[in-house]
Amino acid sequence: MKNLLDYTQAELSEFIQPKFRTKQIYEWIYKKNARSFDEMSNLPKDIRERLKNEFYIEPLEMIKNEISSDGSIKYLFKLKDGKTIESVLLPMKEEIVDENGKTQKHARYTICVSSQVGCKMGCSFCLTAKGGFIRNLTAGEIVGQILWIKRENNIPYERRVNIVYMGMGEPLDNLNNVSKAINILKDNDGLAIGARRQTISTSGLATQIKKLGEMDLGVLLAISLHAVTDELREKLMPVNKAYNIASVMDAVRQFPIDMRKRVMFEYLIMDKINDNLSDAKALVKLLHGIKAKVNLILFNPHEGSPYQRPSQENVEKFRDYLQSRGVTCTIRQSKGLDISAACGQLKERSKGENSATA
């Protein structure tokens, strides 16, 4: 059987006629949260029977979750073949209600999704690398993470969420399926999550950054930089041997970006590794001429890692230096520190508990 979430409306219309039926199917799944074809009451019975015989609409099953005191929720999902992936719901702003019970400001959410089972990149600080690479996710398995999280957390259809491809895997190593997922999510008859609400984070596959730019999907770009010299970056991120810092910067300079937006550079700060002012000075020079925003991320320690979380003082000095030189810089608010915060951590812990097949 086929995963219906893998199909765009145009592709689905090749199976289901007349064409307006595909729009109805999309609305049932993405707007009305239908979990079975029997719920699609305005479809003729013969079409519903055919759908039941050829497709399924639940590509994943939640087998474990952890809820942080800050409201973030980390999910471990099992796919149809028994492999597991992680996704995270991050509450960004709380809903504000006045004394009369009227909502003044709606809650805002970001959903962090995986794009692969495992990862090929082998970054020394990342727990996902420990399990190696198994396979790419299909477009429907990516979309399914978002659909499930929105539905199960009762996030209304009209409440738009931000999507970040920052979970397990390298999104640009699975560009065909990720780009297809982006287009499915953008569909106004689907979840209608605009491209500017979707951010692809990459470890720096320069040739794929250029391909993504040529697709002109309108998504935002985030570069996992983490070091300002090739020597250090190769130790942290083996991908730097194939795509050094200069090649990544060249690809970024060619990437089409909305004039109101910036390219984000993620900089994972680790104690005594890359947290001193000389690194900050080099970073300013590296970003010269790029409309950039730097997001400083404090390393989340996990068992077996040689790296440590930096001091808040050093991180603030780093930020202050960048800002003093005109570089937009923020310190990412760490979430989920009381749960399995590091990417891949919940999966690894669950292996030890024999609670999932990975």
**201 annotated to bind ligand:** yes
Backbone φ and ψ for 341, nearest 5 degrees, come out as: -70, -40
61 is a catalytic site residue: no
Please identify which residue in the block is written with the tokens 């796919």.
Answer: 79
79 is in an annotated binding site: no
Dihedrals phi, psi of 59, to nearest 5 degrees: -80, -10
Contact status, residue 334 vs residue 341, Cβ threshold 8 Å: yes
Of 40, 51, 41, nearest to 17 by C-alpha is: 51
Rounded Cα gap, residues 125 and 60, in angstroms: 28
Task: Give the separation between CA 235 and CA 357, rounded to whole angstroms.
Answer: 31
Annotated ligand binding at 336? The verdict is no
Distance CA 92, CA 247 (A): 34
226 among annotated binding-site residues: yes
Q: Is 86 part of the annotated catalytic residue set?
A: yes
Q: Which of 66, 86, 141, 266 is catalytic?
A: 86
Distances (CA, A) of 258 to 163, 212, 291, 301: 17, 14, 10, 35
- Cα separation, 60 vs 346, in Å, equals 16
In terms of phi and psi (left: phi > 0; alpha: psi -120 to 50; beta: otherwise), the region of 132 is left
329: annotated binding-site residue?
Answer: no
Of the residues 112, 141, 343, 348, only one is catalytic, namely 343
At 277, the amino acid letter reads L
Residue whose structure tokens are 């979840």: 191
Indicate the DSSP class of residue 167: S
Nearest residue to 279 via CA among 253, 310, 306:
310
Q: Is 106 annotated as a binding residue?
A: no
- 112 marked as part of a ligand binding site: no
CA–CA dist 124, 134 (Å, integer) = 18
Find out whether 189 and 195 touch, Cβ atoms under 8 Å.
no
Q: Per the annotation, does 36 bind a ligand?
A: no
Tokens 């002109």, located at residue: 216
Residues annotated as part of the active site: 86, 343
Residues that constitute the known binding site for [4Fe-4S] cluster: 119, 123, 126
**Residue list, annotated binding site for S-adenosyl-L-methionine:** 169-170, 201, 224-226, 300
**Which positions make up the binding site?**
119, 123, 126, 169-170, 201, 224-226, 300
